[in-house]
Structure 1
Amino acid sequence: MENSASAFRAAIAAGYGIECDIQRSADGWPMVFHDWDFARLIGRPDRADALTADQWRELSYLEGEEAPIDLPVLLDLVAGAVPLLIEIKSRPRYDVERTCLAVAECLRGYGGHHAVMSFDPRVARWFRRHAPGTVAGLVMREDDYGFTQKAWQRRLALWIARPDFLAYHVAALPNPMAASLRGAGLPVLTWTVDSPARRAIAAAHADAPIAEGAGLP
């Protein structure tokens, strides 16, 4: 199950780096979860930000009986064994800086290799200003689900974020902008690499894949 403790343990045992997602609970705690509601993974209609962290811990995934975990639990679980890439979720009119602060507080003193990233360029900007010791990246896609379909939107996001790296949608590679930025020294990751064909694209046009399933080596 994605973002579950058992999935993270399996990744650590295999020596794979971990990518996780962060949603914020009603009381401002960083919870390791992808969706904005619990319908798909928990089977409840509640919004993720409608429950407190203690209420989150009483939930269980539809697949199995595990409860979602919070970021401190994940950090204790990983304990520097593998690199950790933390995606901070955001959307229009969302107070993402509150999540940035919560994540930064959890990362204070964590000694393992880690980085944060987000589709929201405000995240990399926040970490650059307030937690410059944490590597921060910008996630970008160009399809109907993204916010950077137009070239001017991509340029604006880059200008706001000034990221340490890009995480570019594999379906949009190769493209001139990513190639140019990579050529100028900006590391480019790509996601989601879930097939041998996409792994070949990642090898040719990016510095590292964010992979799962058949995209793993």
Structure 2
Amino acid sequence: MWRPSDPDCDWLTKAAIAHRGLHDIRNGVVENSMLAVEAAIEHDYAIEVDVQLSSDGEAMVFHDRTLDCLTNETGAVSEFPACELNRIAYADGKGTIPTLGQLLDQVAGRVGLVIEIKSGWKGDTRLVQRTAQCLASYTGEAAVMSFDPVQVAWLAHEAPDIIRGMVADGATQDDYPWLPLSTRLSLREFRHADVTEPDFLSLDKHWLPCPVSRTYRKKRVPMICWTVRSEQEASDALRWCDQITFEGYLPRTMV
């Protein structure tokens, strides 16, 4: 069953959330970089970042499965140990790929932080376990979320004190060609809710409103959405959710 909204989740909806930090590649500020994180903090935005697993089990702050797009290296993030990834510079920006621990030290509780677990959809929970270990000594406001119910269910059962959320969209075949129809229907209809027990939802703005958002808004489960790129999009999305995850512009006001 869904749990009632936890008051510790209130911070999630107080400030707009900078998607992968306040990145601006034109000025050398790469997504998920320390510079993007610091820029968001300077504007008092909350921050969303992604983590991938290194070959030696470290949580690295990086969105893509491979290094090819954002660096001059090639290959999967999972093929490199953390010490090597930590030395890899961004191709079009300043800095190198940080570990989650380094990012937590940088944020230091100054703004809220939302961490997305990038899952391989194979039942591997090493990344969410490492993320939980990193957060064990962190005193700032933080939450962990994933598209993959296995990751969120692990948090529910093994690290229930960590605020956890489900990321979701319409789960179409185009978006999830590797998943069978039964699994996609389960994702779309939140059939996993009894085992994931999410404290909040992060929904694709294009999916709003939907049966999930209507049902669980009535239950007062906090909802954020992604990814908003203008004030008009923000205005439209906030009819159906409590806060936006944004990029490409500076929201005029906090909600």
Tell me the TM-score normalised to structure 2 length: 0.80
Name the Cα RMSD after superposition.
1.7
The 4+ residue runs of structure 1 with deviation greater than 2 A are 146-160, 214-217
Aligned partners of 1:193 and 1:215 also within 8 Å: no
Q: Which amino acid is 1:167 matched to?
A: S
Match of 1:166, SS state, is strand
Match of 1:38, SS state, is coil
Take 1:160 and 1:68, find their aligned partners in 2: how far apart are those partners?
A: 33
Query: How many equivalent residue pairs?
Result: 216
Match of 2:132, SS state, is helix
1:181 to 216, 221, 229: 216
1:169 equivalenced with 2:169 (yes/no): no
Deviation at 1:131, TM superposition (A): 1.2
> Percent same amino acid at aligned positions?
35
Aligned partners of 2:226 and 2:245 also within 8 Å: yes
Give 5+ residue unaligned stretches, structure 2: 1-29
1:66 equivalenced with 2:101 (yes/no): no
1:130 equivalenced with 2:165 (yes/no): no
Take 1:179 and 1:91, find their aligned partners in 2: how far apart are those partners?
A: 29
Take 1:83 and 1:165, find their aligned partners in 2: how far apart are those partners?
A: 14
Take 2:167 and 2:137, find their aligned partners in 1: how far apart are those partners?
A: 25
Deviation at 1:176, TM superposition (A): 2.5
Take 2:104 and 2:243, find their aligned partners in 1: how far apart are those partners?
A: 22
Match of 1:214, SS state, is coil
Hey, what does 1:91 align to over in structure 2?
A: 120
Aligned partners of 2:37 and 2:47 also within 8 Å: yes
Residue range with higher mean Cα deviation, 39-48 or 113-122: 39-48
Map 1:42-121 onto structure 2 (within 5 A): 42-95=71-124, 97-121=125-149
Take 2:123 and 2:60, find their aligned partners in 1: how far apart are those partners?
A: 16
1:204 equivalenced with 2:250 (yes/no): no
Deviation at 1:214, TM superposition (A): 2.7
Take 2:187 and 2:230, find their aligned partners in 1: how far apart are those partners?
A: 31
Aligned partners of 1:194 and 1:216 also within 8 Å: no
Hey, what does 1:25 align to over in structure 2?
A: 54
Q: Higher relative contact order by CA 8 Å / sep ≥ 6: 1 or 2?
A: 2
Aligned partners of 2:168 and 2:203 also within 8 Å: yes
- CA distance 1:151–1:107, change in 2 (3 Å): closer
Higher helix proportion, which one? 1
Aligned partners of 2:168 and 2:187 also within 8 Å: no
Deviation at 1:145, TM superposition (A): 1.4
- CA distance 1:14–1:105, change in 2 (3 Å): same
Hey, what does 1:158 align to over in structure 2?
A: 193
Take 2:165 and 2:138, find their aligned partners in 1: how far apart are those partners?
A: 19
Take 1:212 and 1:90, find their aligned partners in 2: how far apart are those partners?
A: 22
Take 2:204 and 2:55, find their aligned partners in 1: how far apart are those partners?
A: 30
Q: Which amino acid is 2:218 matched to?
A: G
Match of 2:190, SS state, is helix
